């Protein structure tokens, strides 16, 4: 049965690849190949010219106009802008096709007793070395008829094509802005809203991984203001599975919101200051056995062992508040967040958990992190000179250092206090390719039935996105 499951999973992957390829071939064919048949308008103009009812100059003028109208209404022109896209000349239709591949290599070492206690508590080993495809995604997204947006993105890294961003929506709604419905990220945290393609370290920080609601299925309205110096978003979401599904009696729903501002934005973002506030109220019902659980890996995804873990907590609701700040001054940038969760739980005596991180990065080659105030997040790094074996060019080199901590011990819950220090080196060969190296020192304290101890992690990522 396992073999059949793997074959079926592979069939779905091949089928998805085929659909993507067929879509690209169709769009390219629409844009790149001239048609053999004339339109009715062109045939009428030919008849009028043959009968002498219009002059040659008038014939050419009308024929050019007919061709322009045809192009604006039917053709999609291919282009490359750090990825493959197709757009109509009038801007009403645009399609982008792309994906990302991230291959991670890692080794984790720890004291033998600590390893044995973590494996006994988690059921998964902490120590070891290996490789994984952290992400292997394909997507199609675009705009149709000027106001309708959509995206379909699937991740094949786990074997099955799990949903990531799968949504549709409307933009340019007077008095509102934009609306989106489907499976996507809830509005929370600058590090969560920054794509994994552009985050500074291989993994997001401990508190973001522990508390951020991530992707769920729901409806969100959002917009920017003050000449794109401010952004806001609010939405309601079902706490969905990896395929965007949930069915309950209104006891597993999140209400999330985020507002950001850029009091400083100058020199095309090379000087910027970002401030933000995120909030999520998570409706649960202890009587209906809905639960909350906070747990986190030691800034390395390759292990399934969570060093800090509250276990399942019967809860009526939770309030998660996040404060965020970031600054860019040329090649130097800094970023920090503080997140706290207050849980309403009679069984656990209303525990409060929290965490924070702070980090700085510096480009040795002079680039700057690309801050987008309209979305309150960071985007792609473009090296001043792309790496090339024969033509010269070094790419962009970045050094980064982060301290992060999360406290999952309070009242009757002894989930542990985990902190880590991460040293990162990023080599951006060009806008689409980078190599990352992270060293992580992870330290755990105050977890039930686990000794206070630490682990050392060395990991590397090879990444391409388009």
Q: Residue 45 in contact with residue 62, Cβ under 8 Å?
A: yes
Query: Which residues are CB-contacts of 393 (< 8 A; sequence separation ≥ 6)?
Result: 383, 385, 386, 387
Do the Cβ atoms of 437 and 424 come closer than 8 Å?
A: yes
C-alpha to C-alpha distance for 190 and 447, rounded to whole angstroms: 29
Q: Please provide residue 303's backbone torsions phi and psi, each rounded to the nearest 5 degrees.
A: -95, 145
The answer to whether the CB of 368 falls within 8 A of the CB of 330 is yes
Q: Report the alpha-carbon distance of residue 129 to residue 133 in Å, rounded.
A: 14
Per DSSP, the chain holds a count of helices (H) and strands (E) of 6, 24
- Torsion, Cα 195 196 202 204, to 10 degrees, reads 60
Q: What is the pLDDT along the chain (466 residues), one digit of tens a residue?
A: 443 344 344 445 445 554 454 444 444 444 444 445 566 777 887 888 788 878 888 878 877 777 666 555 557 889 988 889 999 888 889 999 999 999 999 999 999 999 999 999 999 999 999 999 999 999 999 999 999 999 999 999 988 889 999 999 999 999 899 999 999 999 999 999 999 999 999 999 999 999 999 999 999 999 999 999 999 999 999 998 888 888 877 779 999 999 999 999 999 999 999 999 999 999 998 777 778 999 999 999 999 999 999 999 999 999 999 999 999 999 999 999 999 999 999 999 999 999 999 999 999 999 999 999 999 999 999 999 999 998 889 999 999 999 999 999 999 999 999 999 999 999 999 999 999 999 999 999 999 999 999 999 999 999 999 9
d(CA 195, CA 120): 34
pTM: predicted TM-score of the whole model, two decimal places: 0.84
Sign of CA dihedral 129, 125, 289, 257: negative
Residues 6+ positions from 106 with CB-CB distance below 8 Å: 129, 130, 131, 132, 300, 302, 457, 458, 459, 460
Cβ burial, residue 232 (10 Å; 0-12/13-18/19+): middle
In sequence order, what are the residues at sequence separation of 6 or more whose Cβ sits closer than 8 angstroms to the Cβ of residue 176?
A: 221, 223
CATH superfamily, domain 76-465, is Porin (2.40.160.10)
Tokens at residue 459, please?
């990991």
H-helix or E-strand containing 119?
A: helix 112-122
């Amino acid at each position: 049965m396992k073999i059949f499951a793997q074959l079926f999973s592979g069939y779905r992957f091949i089928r998805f690849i085929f659909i993507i390829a067929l879509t690209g071939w169709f769009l390219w064919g629409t844009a790149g190949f001239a048609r053999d048949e004339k339109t009715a308008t062109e045939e009428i103009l030919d008849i009028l010219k043959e009968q002498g009812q219009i002059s040659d100059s008038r014939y050419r003028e009308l024929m050019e106009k007919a061709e322009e109208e045809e192009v604006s209404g039917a053709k999609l022109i291919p282009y490359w802008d750090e990825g493959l896209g197709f757009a109509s000349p009038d801007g009403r239709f645009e399609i982008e096709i792309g994906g990302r591949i991230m291959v991670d290599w890692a080794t984790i070492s720890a004291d033998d007793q600590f390893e044995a206690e973590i494996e006994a508590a988690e059921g998964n080993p902490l120590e070891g070395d290996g490789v994984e495809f952290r992400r292997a995604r394909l997507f199609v997204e675009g705009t149709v008829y000027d106001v309708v947006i959509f995206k379909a993105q699937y991740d094949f890294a786990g074997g099955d094509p799990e949903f990531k961003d799968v949504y549709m929506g409307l933009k340019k709604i007077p008095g509102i802005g934009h609306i989106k419905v489907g499976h996507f990220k809830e509005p929370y945290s600058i590090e969560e809203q920054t794509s994994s393609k552009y985050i500074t370290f291989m993994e997001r920080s401990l508190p973001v991984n522990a508390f951020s609601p991530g992707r769920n299925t729901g409806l969100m309205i959002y917009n920017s203001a003050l000449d794109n110096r401010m952004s806001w978003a609010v939405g309601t979401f079902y706490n969905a599975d990896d395929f965007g599904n949930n069915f309950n009696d209104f006891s597993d729903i999140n209400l999330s919101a985020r507002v950001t501002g850029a009091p400083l934005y100058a020199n095309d973002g090379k000087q910027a200051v970002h401030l933000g506030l995120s909030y999520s109220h998570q409706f649960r019902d202890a009587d209906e056995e809905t639960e909350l659980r906070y747990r986190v890996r030691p800034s390395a995804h390759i292990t399934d062992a969570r060093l800090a873990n509250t276990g399942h907590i019967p809860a009526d609701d939770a309030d998660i508040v996040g404060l965020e700040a970031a600054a860019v001054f040329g090649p130097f940038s800094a970023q920090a967040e503080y997140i706290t969760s207050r849980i309403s739980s009679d069984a656990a005596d209303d525990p409060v958990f929290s965490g924070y991180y702070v980090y700085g990065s510096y480009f040795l080659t002079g680039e700057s992190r690309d801050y987008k105030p309209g979305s309150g997040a960071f985007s792609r790094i473009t090296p001043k000179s792309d790496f090339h074996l024969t033509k010269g060019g070094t790419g962009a080199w970045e050094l980064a250092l982060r301290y992060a901590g999360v406290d999952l011990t309070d009242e009757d819950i002894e989930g542990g206090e985990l902190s880590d220090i991460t040293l990162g080196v990023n080599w951006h060969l060009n806008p689409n390719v980078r190599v990352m190296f992270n060293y992580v020192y992870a330290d755990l304290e105050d977890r039930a039935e686990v000794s206070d101890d630490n682990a050392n992690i060395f990991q590397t990522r090879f990444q391409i996105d388009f």
